Structure formats: C-alpha cells, structure tokens
A and B are shown apart, each in its own frame.
Chain A
Amino acid sequence: MPAETDNDAAPPGRRDRLRRDVVLGLKAGVSTFWLLARFMIPAYGVTLVLERLGVIETLAKATAPVMSLLGLPGEAALPLVVGYVLNIYAAVGAMQALSLSATQITVLAIAILIGHNLIIEGAVLHRAGMNGFAFGVMRAVAGLAAAAVANLLMGVF
C-alpha cells in the first residue's frame, strides 16, 4: 500500500514524538498524582482527627490574630505550617479538612506556593551555594506578604 508508506515516510518522527510526549505526560501526571495521594490522604486524615479532638480549635484561637491579616481563619495556620515543614501535597490534604471559601483557598494557596518544603528545598539551594535557612525565612515572609496583599487587592476588585 503506497499511500500508507507515504504517510509513514513523510512525518516519521512526528507521530512517534507525539506518542512519546503523551506517554511521558501521562507518566508525569500519574507520578504527581501518586505523590499527592501518598502525602495528601494521611494529612487529611490526621487533620480530621485533630479537628475532632479540638486541637485545631485551640491552634486556631492562638493564630487567629495573625491569620486575620490574610483574611484567613486561625485554623488555616495548620496547612501553612504543614506546607513549610513537609510539602504542598500534605498542605492540600490539611486544607481539604477545613471549610474555606474560594477567596480563602486562593490566598492560602499563594502563601503556600511561595513558601513550602523549606527543609528539602533549602538543601537544594544550599547545594547551589546559597544559605538555605535564610532562603527559608525569606520565602515564608514573602509568601505571607504576597498573600496579605492579594487578600487586600481581591477585596478591591
């Protein structure tokens, strides 16, 4: 069948590349998903239990004055700290256990996306010759500031 040979000959790499890219993308997606499930689900479960035990309420009362600067309830401090120490996946799990509005989710997401996984990523920065600890502090502060400004701006728009 000449037509088919033609078809195969003209863009030989193209379809292969397409298939390879789709497979690579699927692999990356599934591995992200797996990472997510591994951290997110335990964090979600632990947060639910902590909530039942009243631990979250105590924490929320203590952190409420600071968190209100971001327009967030006090209990949102938990996913924030979980994100700093562990990673964004665990933070998402903790967030799922709390009831937050769409705006609050966005504000909290900004703070966590700028500052997270500070210990491991601090080690990466250290390898590049930087001070991992100073960078951790900088990211936490920059993230909170970005979230506070976003909260103000979202109130305006």
Chain B
Amino acid sequence: MGELLREFVEGSLALLLRVFVIVVPVMVLLELFEGSRPFRAMVRSWSRLVGRWLGMREEAAAPTLIGLLFGLAYAGGVIVRDTRRHNLGRRQVFQMSVFLSMVHAIVEDSVIFISLGASVLWVVVYRAVWAALVTVILGAVAGATVRWRGRRQADDR
C-alpha cells in the first residue's frame, strides 16, 4: 500500500512537472504569435487552402481557423454565427464540423501528448492531413447523396 502511494505521488509529480514545463511556454508563444504579422499572413493562406483543398467557401475559413487554434467549444459559437451571417449552406457546416471534430485546439491538445513523448510530426501534421482527407471524402459523399436524392425526387414528380 505504501509502495503504491509512493508510486502515485512520484508519478503524479513527474507528470505535472513535464506537462507544466511544456504547456505553459507554448501557450505564451501561441498568444504572442496571434498578434503578429505572420499570423495575418497565415489567415490569408488558410482561406485559400480551405477553398482549394477542402472545397469550402472562403467564409468558412474564419470558423475553421478559430476552431483549429482555440477549440471546438469556441468554434461552435462562431460556426453558428457565421452560418447566419454569410448564409452558409448545410454542406459547409457539415464539412466544417467534420474537420473540426477531428482537429481542434491543435496546439493545446497536441502539446499535452507531446509532453508525454508523442512525436510532433505524427500528432500534428499527420493528424491534420488525415482530418482533411476524411473531410474531403465525407464532403464528396454528402454531396453525391444530396444530388442522388434530388434526382430521385425529380423522377418521382
């Protein structure tokens, strides 16, 4: 019992220390980055990327980037707001949701596992690429389903 307790205390402290040393500085750097010129350039290239590769409208760029950086809870509100504001269709919302449900708070979430020893390349780059692939595939499937249903309804008439 005493041995278990010691393992628990030592393991907890080691875990907390490792996470603290990595998470806090990274969050400070993220905050600094958001106010910088490179960040604004990133927003611009992101909207092109989203338009070209994910097949989304440019207005979908802001909610996706916000979700990617700050998390789903925050992005959920922005999605609802921008959907009304820019009259985004259901397919846009679907694609944004698919992408963001798989990658969000990319810095904050990834860094926790990186501090445990996970590889940055796999946890960040590979995961983002995977999420983009799934988004494109599911978006195409949804688009095809909608077209197919539309045609059937037209035939019925």
Contacts and interface: CB of A to CB of B under 8 A. Distances in A.
Contacts of A32: 23, 27, 108, 112
Interface residues of A, number: 53
Interface string A3-31: 00000000000000110011011101110
Nearest to B90: A129
A127 B76 contact: yes
Main secondary structure of the interface of B (DSSP, over half): helix
A59 interface: no
Nearest to B13: A41
A135 B28 contact: no
A-B complex: 8 closest residue pairs judged by Cβ atoms = A25-B28, A25-B31, A29-B24, A29-B27, A109-B113, A109-B118, A124-B76, A28-B27
Interface of A: 17-18, 21-22, 24-26, 28-30, 32-33, 36-37, 40-41, 44-45, 48-49, 52, 88-89, 92-93, 95-97, 102, 105-106, 109-110, 112-115, 121, 124-125, 127-130, 135, 138-139, 142-143, 146, 149-150, 154
Interface of B: 4, 7-8, 11-12, 15-16, 19-20, 23-32, 34-35, 72-73, 76, 79-80, 83, 90, 93-94, 96-98, 101-103, 108-110, 112-113, 116-119, 122-123, 126-127, 130-131, 134, 138
